[in-house]
Amino acid sequence: MPALRSMAAAMAAAALVGHSYATEVSLPPCLDPFKPFVYAGCYKDLGNPQLLPYRSSAPSEDMTVEKCVAECKGNGYRYAGLVYYGICYCGATVRGPEADESECSFPCNGDKSENCGGNNHFSVWQDPTFQATEEVTIEHYDPIGCWTDDSPYGRALVYKQDHIPSSEMTTEKCLQACRDGGFPFAGTEYSGECWCGVVIGNGTHAAPESECNMPCHGDNSQTCGGPSRLSLYAADELLSLEPCGYVPPAESSSSSTAAPSSTSTEAPEPSSTFPPEETSSTVEEPTTTPEPTTTPPPTTSKSSTTTSTTSSVCTTTTVIPPTCEYKCGKWCSNPLPDWKDQKTCSQAWASCTLQIASCFLTASWPDVLDCFDFSEWCSDVSRACGKIHHKHDFIKQHPPKGGNPAVTKTITVPCATPTSTKTSSTSTSTVVPTPTNICTQPSNPVGGIPFPIVTCNDVSKDWPTYPFKKFDHPDTKMCKRYQRNKVSTACADACKDQYEDCIKVYAEGCRQKKNTGPRDLLAVSSNSQQLGSLGKRTFYQWTDDYMTAVRKCEKQLSDCLKLNNKIDGNKKCPSFGHY
């Protein structure tokens, strides 16, 4: 493992760089089948920094290699290490030099045939589903918004980088510290704290961007979280490609059915069916690669009097996503992407959040009131991340309103002739951009009407000329694009969109409320069964008359235009896919 050895040597040389401490709540071991860890070698613990920082709470009395790697896999770590007969540790990097194998000769308490380190020496195992990290820099960390850090289940990120002086804290210093530790998640908080982690803690969810409002002590032009709020960043390149619970995508295959070209006069002889061999997944060091198994070809049906020639037909089952997943009057949302882990769930939440403004812009009165529920549904997606591992499970618990479901279709066609020619791909690369607004909301939005998000362009071919986009349409290809020197124009357009929504929703709501009363008004909306939740968000707090509401909308527009008049986009979206 040359890469690991060079990394460990570098970490040993940097031993005088400060240390971090953890406040971790253990996750359970991974009980799902996973790709076996591979042995990396025997490493010496220098003490400061620790070789591997996370100590498993699993008892050492019956510890084995298999149990330890399952602990580390379940908690999201790249490395597993065993010391002194079976004390299990995990880490994102190995901070110590490689040692002679004779130093790791203590037998494991749970399996005497396995080695579990020695005195201050660790037998280290590595998860092969992580990518090489040599080229990863702080530029690979993408901002993913403002997140809570007040869960009763523990901190959002558990490794505090206390070697960075609070008075010198900047986003770059925090990202560098987390990068050096191999942590995929980084966050700043309270103006001067830096936290890192391999997972985002349970009970943590996205918060309004306005709650991350404290400037960094080392650079007051940057935001470093807020009270119990993290400005959170993630580097995909430092995450496992196959985390615990990963289900490999089904191989594209078609079922072939023998279609006789002539009819037999007698019943055919029964064909034999060969069951697939059972496979098992064990967590152990791989030995030799097994020979591929061969599957006997299916027998053909024969007649005692005629011989039937056959031609193949193929059956393909396709799941067609909904064209309208969530419906508010005449507005329809684009379907959210599926997810399988924290990262892809966060992308689904971002996709949802970017569509909220378009709902308020498009839905007519009074159906536009349902957009508040759509916004809450997006928040449900955020809260589901880390708890509900697939979209279809989320949909069962939180069904979208008004839209149409996915459709499963089965199509039978002649099988294609095998060919070795590869089809060239001309698809345009797209990403789900971070829903962090480049523009600034002047104060709490009047009536809770959201400010349209202006952020990085999500289409790679557009980005060089138009790096910014105002997300005001559920189909992002229809959203307005802006050149780098036009970001203030984009913000002005967003201010005007919010003003139109404010008049259409808040002012009109206040007028209707005065004329009909809140409960009569709510009865015309599909939210009539949810008066409590909607009322708390809207009408029970909307006490203005129509003209007062209009003046508030006008004042917000004026403040918004002034505040965003000199917005500079030169440091935003420096490359495609990075905020």
* Same domain flag for 100 and 183: no
* Same domain flag for 76 and 144: no
* Same domain flag for 161 and 193: yes
Residue 385 covered by a domain: yes
Asked whether the predicted pLDDT for residue 257 surpasses 70, the reply is no
- Pick the last residue of a domain from 378, 397, 416: 397
* Same domain flag for 119 and 191: no
**Where residue 204 falls among pLDDT bands split at 50, 70, 90?**
confident
Asked whether the predicted pLDDT for residue 392 surpasses 60, the reply is yes
Residue 93 covered by a domain: yes
* Same domain flag for 142 and 234: yes
Domains identified in the chain, total number: 3
Residue 358 covered by a domain: yes
Express as a percent the part of the chain with pLDDT over 90: 43
Residue 64 covered by a domain: yes
* Same domain flag for 106 and 150: no
Distance CA(549)–CA(478), nearest Å, equals 31
pLDDT (0 to 100) of residue 407: 60
Distance CA(205)–CA(380), nearest Å, equals 9
Other C-beta atoms lying within 10 Å of the C-beta of residue 163: 14
* Same domain flag for 154 and 211: yes
* Same domain flag for 142 and 59: no
Mean pLDDT across the stretch 6-18? Answer: 35
Which of 9-18, 232-241, 468-477, 565-574 is predicted with the least confidence, judged by mean pLDDT?
9-18
Mean pLDDT across the stretch 19-27? Answer: 56
Other C-beta atoms lying within 10 Å of the C-beta of residue 203: 18
Which of 93-107, 442-456, 486-500, 511-525 is predicted with the least confidence, judged by mean pLDDT?
511-525
* Same domain flag for 79 and 157: no
- Pick the last residue of a domain from 208, 238, 268: 238
pLDDT (0 to 100) of residue 175: 97
* Same domain flag for 116 and 183: no
Residue 234 covered by a domain: yes
The pLDDT tens digits for 108-139 are 999 999 999 999 999 999 999 988 878 889 99
Model-level pTM?
0.45
Which of 39-48, 421-430, 570-579 is predicted with the least confidence, judged by mean pLDDT?
421-430
Which residues are within 8 A (CB) of 36 and not within 5 positions of it... i.e. 6 or more apart? Answer: 69, 128, 282, 283, 284, 285, 286
When the pLDDT of each residue in the chain is averaged and rounded to a whole number, the result is: 78
**Where residue 575 falls among pLDDT bands split at 50, 70, 90?**
confident
- CA–chain centroid gap for 416, Å, is 37
**Where in the sequence is the domain holding 67, given as residue range(s)?**
38-126
Question: How open is the CA angle 565-573-227, to the nearest 5 degrees?
Answer: 75
Residue 415 or 60, more confident: 60
Q: Tell me the H-state helices in 332-413.
A: 342-353, 356-362, 370-384, 391-397
Residue 458 covered by a domain: no
* Same domain flag for 102 and 180: no
* Same domain flag for 154 and 193: yes
Closest CA to 494 of 553, 467, 454, 550: 454
The pLDDT tens digits for 523-563 are 444 443 343 444 444 544 678 899 999 999 999 999 999 99
The strands making up 159-160's β-sheet, listed across from edge to edge, are 21-22, 159-160, 193-197, 185-189, 229-234, 142-148, 206-207
Residue 48 covered by a domain: yes
Name the most confidently modeled range: 214-218, 441-445, 519-523, 532-536: 214-218
Mean pLDDT across the stretch 418-430? Answer: 46
Residue 271 or 370, more confident: 370
- Pick the last residue of a domain from 397, 431, 451: 397
CB 52 within 8 A of CB 81: yes
Residue 89 covered by a domain: yes
Distance CA(529)–CA(79), nearest Å, equals 51
Q: Tell me the H-state helices in 388-460.
A: 391-397
